[in-house]
Amino acid sequence: QVHLVESGGGLVQPGGSLRLSCVASGRIFSLKVAGWYRQAPGKQRELVATINSGGSTNYADSVKGRFTISRDNANKTVYLQMNSLKPGDTAVYYCNAGVLMADGTSLREGDYWGQGTQVTVSS
């Protein structure tokens, strides 16, 4: 089994910063493309940022210049650094990753989601 465990959410004032972490556990050979999504009340889940195995990134226009996605391959962890937070960033944030899993002498691929972590930006 593979699990993604998120942490780092909470309450922050406008203009503040948070760093979200997502740690993958299990019989994992490597992480492939990974990303962060968010969902606000009454809205559809939307893509925030992605990062591939080579470190290439892309971002939603709404967060460019404020958020940074990164990864630590040795620790199987993906991060989202969020700066200059706005009330509109309030949402549940989810991590997602494609995973290469070690099964005996073979590798197989799977896709997994974290449980979500609440980010609230308010004064």
> pLDDT, tens digit, for every residue of 51-100?
999 999 999 999 999 999 999 999 999 999 999 999 999 999 999 999 99
| Burial per residue of 67-89, b for 16 or more beta-carbon CB atoms within 10 angstroms, e otherwise | bbbebeeeebbbbbebeebeeeb
Mean pLDDT, range 27-56, rounded to an integer: 95
Share of the chain above pLDDT 90, in %: 85
Smallest Cα–Cα separation from 45: which of 55, 58, 60, 56?
A: 60
Give the integer Cα–Cα distance in Å for 18 and 90: 12
For residue 1, the model assigns a pLDDT of: 80
For residue 34, the model assigns a pLDDT of: 96
For residue 43, the model assigns a pLDDT of: 95
